[in-house]
Amino acid sequence: MTSLSKPIFSKSKLGLALIAATMISMASLYAPSVNAAPIYKVIDEKTGQVTFTDRPQNYEQQAGKKISQTGVMTRESTVSSSNSDNASSPPPPSSVNTTTQNTAAKNSPAAKPAINYQLAITEPSEERAYRRPAQNITVNVQVKPDLQAGDSVSIYLDGNEIAQGLSASVATVDILPGSHKIKAVLKNEKGQILKQVERTVYVIQNTQTLQNNKKIAQQLLAYQNLPWHQKVLLKMRQKDSNLQKAQSSKPVTNDAFTKK
Question: Does 123 reside within a domain?
Answer: yes
Average pLDDT over residues 180-209: 89
74 and 28, same domain (yes or no) = yes
197 and 155, same domain (yes or no) = yes
pLDDT tens digit sequence for 50-60: 888 888 888 88
Q: Looking at the predicted structure, is the pLDDT value of residue 145 above 60?
A: yes
- Rounded CA-CA distance 93/101 in Å is 12
65 and 129, same domain (yes or no) = no
Q: Which residues of 3-38 are buried (b: 16+ CB within 10 A; e: fewer)?
A: eeeeeeeeeeeeeeeeeeeeeeeeeeeeeeeeeeee
Average pLDDT, the chain: 75
Question: Does 146 reside within a domain?
Answer: yes
Question: Does 254 reside within a domain?
Answer: no
Question: Does 126 reside within a domain?
Answer: yes
pLDDT tens digit sequence for 2-37: 444 444 445 555 566 566 566 655 555 544 444 567
pLDDT at 75: 53
145 and 198, same domain (yes or no) = yes
Q: Looking at the predicted structure, is the pLDDT value of residue 84 above 60?
A: no
72 and 34, same domain (yes or no) = yes
Question: Does 148 reside within a domain?
Answer: yes
pLDDT tens digit sequence for 231-258: 888 888 888 777 777 777 666 555 554 4
Task: Decide: pTM greater than 0.85.
Answer: no
Q: Could you tell me what percent of the chain has a pLDDT over 90?
A: 25
In the sheet where 167-171 sits, what is the strand order? 118-123, 136-144, 167-171
pLDDT at 68: 86
Question: Does 55 reside within a domain?
Answer: yes
Domain with residue 163: its CATH number is 2.60.40.10
pLDDT at 246: 74
Number of domains in the chain: 2
What range does the domain containing 58 cover?
A: 20-88
201 and 138, same domain (yes or no) = yes
Q: Select the highest-mean-pLDDT range: 86-90, 95-99, 116-120.
A: 116-120
Average pLDDT over residues 179-204: 93
- Rounded CA-CA distance 116/183 in Å is 19
Q: Looking at the predicted structure, is the pLDDT value of residue 97 above 60?
A: no
